[in-house]
Amino acid sequence: MNPRVKSVIPQKNYRLYLTFTDGDKRIYDCSSLLNFGVFQELRDESYFNQATVLDGTVIWPHDQDICPDTLYLDSIKSET
């Protein structure tokens, strides 16, 4: 099982700065999701910036979420 999300900080250009339970710090780019169904709402940057962590993954107020495995496997390791 991959690590779960411990914290999230929304960044510019629809990126999430994630800290995982194993201490890894990674960047996930959400821009490829913005044209699909419920994720279209994330185009509003003020809404996108409301990202928070619940049960090891990232969620938004209107029940959008991203699988924690996807967040880990499709993100890139951060230098900071």
Kind plus residue range of the DSSP H or E element containing 71: helix 68-73
Cβ atoms within 10 A of the Cβ of 31, count? Answer: 11
CA distances from 38 to 2, 9, 24, 63, 78 (A): 25, 21, 28, 9, 28
pLDDT digits (tens, 9 = 90+) for 40-79: 999 999 999 999 999 999 999 999 999 999 999 999 999 8
CATH number for domain 5-77, candidates 3.40.980.20, 3.30.1180.10, 3.30.2020.10, 2.60.40.10: 3.30.2020.10
pLDDT at 1 over 90: no
Domain residue spans in the chain?
Answer: 5-77
Please, are residues 53 and 61 in contact by the beta-carbon 8 Å criterion?
no
